[in-house]
Amino acid sequence: MRRFVYCKVVLTTSLVWVLVDVFLLLYFSECNKCDNKKDHSLLPALRAVMSRTHVAPGEMGKAVVIPKDEQEKMKELFKINQFNLMASDMIALNRSLPDVRLDGCKTKTYPDELPNTSIVIVFHNEAWSTLLRTIHSAINRSPRHLLLEILLVDDASERDFLKKKLEHHVATLEVPVRILRMVQRSGLIRARLRGAAATRGQVITFLDAHCECTVGWLEPLLARIKEDRRAVVCPIIDVISDETFEYMAGSDMTYGGFNWKLNFRWYPVPQREMDRRKGDRTLPVRTPTMAGGLFSIDRTYFEEIGTYDSGMDIWGGENLEMSFRIWQCGGSLEIVTCSHVGHVFRKATPYSFPGGTGQVINKNNRRLAEVWMDEFKDFFYIISPGVVRVDYADVSSRKALRESLKCKPFSWYLENIYPDSQIPRRYYSLGEVFSYTADKEIRTDDLCLDASRLNGPVVMLKCHHMKGNQMFEYDAERLTLLHVNSNQCLDMPSEEDKMVPTLRDCSGRRSQQWILRNMTLSV
């Protein structure tokens, strides 16, 4: 199929290139069979000519452009997987990609004796070309002795080509690929648990089913685990465009965090982490959380640290659960900046969540909050009304795990691993919507009450932690919130203020009295 599309493009370009193409094809297949030590002096020159003048769709990670008259069809196909399936199907399963690593990474050397890995890929109704490109890129760009096997876990997919056809295809590959099938839809978490339990490698590497591994991706991950078996490591996750399949390098200057709603988010790597690495960007970044799709972990450590919470359904929350657990229980979570793997980020999920998306995610998040976040779970609960009514089933075994591993409290995590968290480590009060923090901000998530004008309304702006217009002094006797900069008090909204709280001269009247709940300093 792929060859067919490729040739069609070639033919429409020029016949000469067909000949070059055929020649190259023969040359490559010849090369695959030989011992790779032969001097293919003609090859680089030919490749260079090819790349300048004629290239198949998507080569070198380029964007695929769909002709106008195919765009209706493209839009239809998009709906199946929530990415441009037509573009993906046009791209070679072993397409070339740019080397996006930092220069310092390209010259790094690694020990000869690295642990080997099993790759676990779970999928539910994945497209053929993206799944196979994940597998081919992993095989082609991993040293053979380091990649022991690939385990595919089919989470009850309903597509024919993922059955016999897939089995036949993977049987031809040079790395052993096993396919496990879930009897019923179980979700990413339980499917990964099934795959992990069947692995034999020293390290387990989890990948999503729509990834592309780039040159040198594996060695730095394994080398870091060899150095410290309790290091759980993620590559930099590059972006494969869901619209064009263009390959775009991810940044080594962002790391994982989360907000009050427990959504995973990328944030800039703070200065303290740059300082710890003495400015060497090729060293691993200690990250508070991980995105979850792609990481490597020592297989016995995965067991020791409590694998995944099997009480979580389908998808969501498991990445933060694992992140908190690793840090709180003595491990470390790192982004290995010399390792790059691409992932198709999509804007919507193509599959349904049995039981409803919100229900499932809320349940998973509640399990994570109840087990790991101690009193800080309240930040999640106040910003997600209704979540406290969601049944999260029994978490006693996860709490027992936390006990037996003697894990540290969440306050330790915030203090030592994630001091720049959106959740204030120290706060005086947590009310219906806002918290009153030890920095004297009135804050919800990453937004702070900010007043810049005398007698003016207040607004919510991004917290800057510089006090100034965002500092309010609470007077526990008069119950007033004094805006220090303007020396005015926060006043209740009235009709003419369009229901926005406003600064007014302090008068002691009722509308300037604010009762802060649970007014204590939490440490």
Nearer to ligand UDP, 360 or 503 (CB): 360
Nearer to ligand UDP, 206 or 472 (CB): 206
Report the phi/psi class of residue 245: left, alpha or beta, with left for phi > 0 and alpha for psi in -120 to 50: left
- Find, among 64, 65, 26, 62, the residue nearest to 46 by Cα: 26
* Whole-angstrom distance, CA of residue 175 vs CA of residue 168: 14
Nearer to ligand UDP, 78 or 123 (CB): 123
CB atoms within 10 A of CB 62: 19
Nearer to ligand UDP, 6 or 266 (CB): 266
* Whole-angstrom distance, CA of residue 252 vs CA of residue 266: 11
Instruction: Assess 238 for contact with Mn ion (CB under 5 A).
Output: no
Nearer to ligand UDP, 232 or 294 (CB): 294
For residue 385, what are its two tokens? Answer: 């009304």
Nearer to ligand UDP, 314 or 407 (CB): 314
Binds ligand UDP by CB under 6 A, chosen from 115, 256, 293, 331? 293
Contacts of 364 (CB under 8 A, 6+ apart): 309, 312, 313, 316, 317, 318, 321
Instruction: Assess 240 for contact with ligand UDP (CB under 6 A).
Output: no
Rg (CA), the chain: 27
Instruction: Assess 155 for contact with Mn ion (CB under 5 A).
Output: no
Contact range with ligand UDP by CB under 6 A, out of 187-195, 390-398, 451-459, 489-497 = 187-195
Q: Which one of Mn ion, ligand UDP, none is in contact with 378 (Cβ closer than 5 to 8 A by kind)?
A: none
# residues near ligand UDP by CB under 6 A: 16
Nearer to Mn ion, 343 or 366 (CB): 343
Q: Min. distance of Cβ 293 from Mn ion in angstroms?
A: 5
Q: Which one of ligand UDP, Mn ion, none is in contact with 187 (Cβ closer than 5 to 8 A by kind)?
A: ligand UDP
How far CA 129 is from CA of 56, 126, 222, 234, in Å, comes to 15, 9, 27, 24
Q: Min. distance of Cβ 210 from Mn ion in angstroms?
A: 6
Q: Which one of Mn ion, ligand UDP, none is in contact with 212 (Cβ closer than 5 to 8 A by kind)?
A: none
CB atoms within 10 A of CB 201: 21
- Find, among 429, 449, 426, 452, the residue nearest to 439 by Cα: 426
* Whole-angstrom distance, CA of residue 475 vs CA of residue 485: 15
Instruction: Assess 318 for contact with Mn ion (CB under 5 A).
Output: no
Contact range with ligand UDP by CB under 6 A, out of 14-22, 185-193, 217-225, 418-426 = 185-193
Binding mask 264-283 for ligand UDP (x = CB under 6 A): --------------------
Binders in 314-353 for ligand UDP, by CB under 6 A: 314-315, 349, 351
Nearer to ligand UDP, 270 or 350 (CB): 350
Residue 76's H or E segment, with its range, is helix 71-81
* Whole-angstrom distance, CA of residue 212 vs CA of residue 230: 26
Helix and strand element counts for the chain (H, E): 17, 21
Instruction: Assess 208 for contact with ligand UDP (CB under 6 A).
Output: yes
Report the DSSP beta bridge partners of residue 111.
none
Q: Min. distance of Cβ 314 from ligand UDP in angstroms?
A: 5
Contacts of 178 (CB under 8 A, 6+ apart): 149, 150, 151, 152, 198
Q: Min. distance of Cβ 361 from ligand UDP in angstroms?
A: 11
Binding mask 109-148 for ligand UDP (x = CB under 6 A): -------------xxx-x----------------------
Contact range with ligand UDP by CB under 6 A, out of 6-14, 180-188, 272-280, 386-394 = 180-188
* Whole-angstrom distance, CA of residue 144 vs CA of residue 142: 6
Could you please report the per-residue DSSP string of 355-420?
T-HHHHHHHHHHHHHHHH-GGGHHHHHHHSTTGGGS-----HHHHHHHHHTTPPPHHHHHHHT-TT
Q: Min. distance of Cβ 135 from Mn ion in angstroms?
A: 15
In this structure, what DSSP letter does residue 250 have? Answer: P
# residues near Mn ion by CB under 5 A: 1
Contacts of 499 (CB under 8 A, 6+ apart): 493
Q: Which one of ligand UDP, Mn ion, none is in contact with 124 (Cβ closer than 5 to 8 A by kind)?
A: ligand UDP
Nearer to ligand UDP, 120 or 333 (CB): 120
Whether 266 contacts 254, CB under 8 Å = yes
Scanning the structure block, which residue is given the tokens 């031809």? 172
Q: Min. distance of Cβ 362 from ligand UDP in angstroms?
A: 16
Binding mask 207-236 for Mn ion (x = CB under 5 A): -x----------------------------
Instruction: Assess 187 for contact with ligand UDP (CB under 6 A).
Output: yes
Scanning the structure block, which residue is given the tokens 């006990």? 403
Instruction: Assess 219 for contact with ligand UDP (CB under 6 A).
Output: no
Nearer to ligand UDP, 330 or 354 (CB): 354
- List residues near ligand UDP by CB under 6 A: 122-124, 126, 155, 185, 187-188, 191, 208-209, 293, 314-315, 349, 351
Site residues for Mn ion per CB under 5 A: 208
